Structure 1
């Protein structure tokens, strides 16, 4: 096997077979003739996401709504304390939900926040950052960083350990976690214990094997990616910077340890894994997990997909281990 085989995974090595649980979801979506997000429009996809009824997530010891100080006013946050977390000195993750920077809320991502809290044993500070197109770049990124600063300032009141605060997110939220880690490094901002990213949106669409094979997925299409990126960042990639598009950062050295989870059938797979490879080559401790048979958004599918539950448990165990055994 050559080095190129290792660093640029070929979709054919995993095949395009879907997990049986995921196949059920795909068949249902096709029977309902669910159109790609870019064809439905912002309001329709927002309404669709908010209307999904998910089984209740794990019970928490406490769930509290609060507001973080933001650059343009208060930022709603929802704080989840899992039953296994101590009342004081608990680890914490400042969490950014997915939704392509155009949709999603504390309510629609409540189940995921509960799953992450229960799996990691960490307090989750779920951030309701501003969305495009009403609020374009850098609004969401500014809110993400402000929420991290607020969590650090209020660590004692939140009952969390100042030295064990990480960042994390799924999809667009994973991109915000990567961006926040970069920004904190560059500005001598708050210390970040680790970054946890499910299929993070760290790059614009690229012509990769995974994009060619899975770019017409019912979960996320190539056109969806362009549509959402353009709505938040604008349609001129030459104007991008490393906070809006972390994959173009000149250096990834000095960033916190990372955990990256991606589905083998996600069109973003190759770009995400390339980012993880760059982190590792830059001296960052990285755990990259690739899950067969699942696509974009699988962390939101724990109620119906057994492999998603396994992924959540494995990622959660890694996060807990890193919080329990900090390095450096």
Structure 2
């Protein structure tokens, strides 16, 4: 399955430019704030800024439980969201990895997105608080992501999941973790994955692509900041990268789970994300690719204020729910 929600021309007529009107308001505020680039501000500052953002409360849940499991590098906190109306036994589940460039983000700062995705998909969402760089460099985050998938399968009965309907997902850097975890599970004969759900995933180091040239100075993600964050996690030497740290390096994508991939037109990562989706389809993986005009990187975090973000999360959620409903 493949699809796209965008026309050939991404320009939004009502805005007279690349941004939807409600996104343009956010862009104007970011520009007016005149904040330094992330690489200049530094890790602690960007962490504080992210945690300081106040977001409206998300959808109500039947339950939200914070717990932890023992991982390869110590205990890993997780927060489990069960949407209203989801059965207590035999529910579908998504193991979810939040974004933040592998250097920032917590269960609290990504609580709203977790609720939105859980509500839209009708799946129990397990949000994973993996360790961050630069304190914990590659492969720590990847190891903990894979361990979370294994733990979800081992704990399926206790959590109330159907272990044949456990998927993976994530946004931005977390989407990259989901993609790498799917590769590792395939390569190592690990737990079965019902599907992978990738919002604008970070799949590669920065490359000279048209979308990167056009939108590399985006207010939502800057090209040089991508280099900085990748180096903090992966190190400075690309020659030692592998397909788990950089999923785009995988020589084959055959045998991976059915995939839903969503990206904004004005995202510098767009071309690399869409190339990965094309490769999945070429490898015979059922793949829905969705490009949304008028928005940039991180749009799923803008559900409270951006109309197209709300539509995108609902649309992706419907595709995910349909896949779960028809899993053999």
TM value normalised by structure 1:
0.95
Distance, in Å, in 1 between the alignment partners of 2:158 and 2:288 is: 32
Give the match's secondary structure for 1:166: strand
Distance, in Å, in 2 between the alignment partners of 1:67 and 1:315 is: 28
Distance, in Å, in 2 between the alignment partners of 1:21 and 1:148 is: 37
Give the match's secondary structure for 1:69: strand
Distance, in Å, in 2 between the alignment partners of 1:86 and 1:34 is: 45
Alignment partner, residue 292 of structure 1 = 293
Alignment partner, residue 165 of structure 2 = 164
Alignment partner, residue 6 of structure 1 = none
Alignment partner, residue 14 of structure 1 = 10
Distance, in Å, in 2 between the alignment partners of 1:32 and 1:218 is: 11
Alignment partner, residue 35 of structure 2 = 34
Distance, in Å, in 1 between the alignment partners of 2:205 and 2:280 is: 18
Alignment partner, residue 4 of structure 1 = none
Alignment partner, residue 4 of structure 2 = none
1:180 aligns with 2:167: no
Distance 1:230 1:12, change over 3 A: farther
Distance, in Å, in 2 between the alignment partners of 1:60 and 1:12 is: 38
- Runs of 4+ in structure 1 displaced over 3 angstroms? none
1:132-281, aligned counterparts within 5 Å? Answer: 132-281=133-282
- Residue by residue over 1:75-123, the C-alpha shift from the partner in whole angstroms, topping out at 9 and shown as x without a partner, is 0000000002111100000000000000000000000000000000000
Report how far residue 34 of structure 1 moved: 2.1
Backbone CA RMSD of aligned residues: 1.1
Give the match's secondary structure for 2:85: coil
Paired residue total:
317
Distance, in Å, in 1 between the alignment partners of 2:147 and 2:8 is: 42
Alignment partner, residue 108 of structure 2 = 107
Distance, in Å, in 1 between the alignment partners of 2:76 and 2:85 is: 27
- Residue by residue over 1:235-276, the C-alpha shift from the partner in whole angstroms, topping out at 9 and shown as x without a partner, is 111100000000010110000000000000000000000000
Distance, in Å, in 2 between the alignment partners of 1:140 and 1:26 is: 31
Structure 2, gaps ≥5 residues long: 1-6, 12-16
Alignment partner, residue 90 of structure 2 = 89
Distance, in Å, in 1 between the alignment partners of 2:10 and 2:59 is: 32
Distance, in Å, in 2 between the alignment partners of 1:19 and 1:246 is: 31
Give the match's secondary structure for 2:74: coil
- Residue by residue over 1:39-92, the C-alpha shift from the partner in whole angstroms, topping out at 9 and shown as x without a partner, is 211000000000100000000000001102200211000000000211110000
Distance, in Å, in 2 between the alignment partners of 1:154 and 1:18 is: 43
Distance, in Å, in 2 between the alignment partners of 1:89 and 1:35 is: 48
The 8 Å contact of residues 69 and 147 in structure 1, kept in 2 or not, is answered as no
Give the match's secondary structure for 1:74: strand
The 8 Å contact of residues 302 and 308 in structure 1, kept in 2 or not, is answered as yes
The 8 Å contact of residues 253 and 284 in structure 1, kept in 2 or not, is answered as yes
The 8 Å contact of residues 36 and 218 in structure 1, kept in 2 or not, is answered as no
The 8 Å contact of residues 98 and 172 in structure 1, kept in 2 or not, is answered as yes
Give the match's secondary structure for 2:130: coil
Distance, in Å, in 1 between the alignment partners of 2:70 and 2:119 is: 27
Report how far residue 35 of structure 1 moved: 2.3
Report how far residue 144 of structure 1 moved: 0.3
- Residue by residue over 1:282-307, the C-alpha shift from the partner in whole angstroms, topping out at 9 and shown as x without a partner, is 11010000000100000000000010
The 8 Å contact of residues 36 and 220 in structure 1, kept in 2 or not, is answered as no
Distance, in Å, in 1 between the alignment partners of 2:9 and 2:118 is: 33
Report how far residue 37 of structure 1 moved: 1.2
The 8 Å contact of residues 280 and 286 in structure 1, kept in 2 or not, is answered as yes
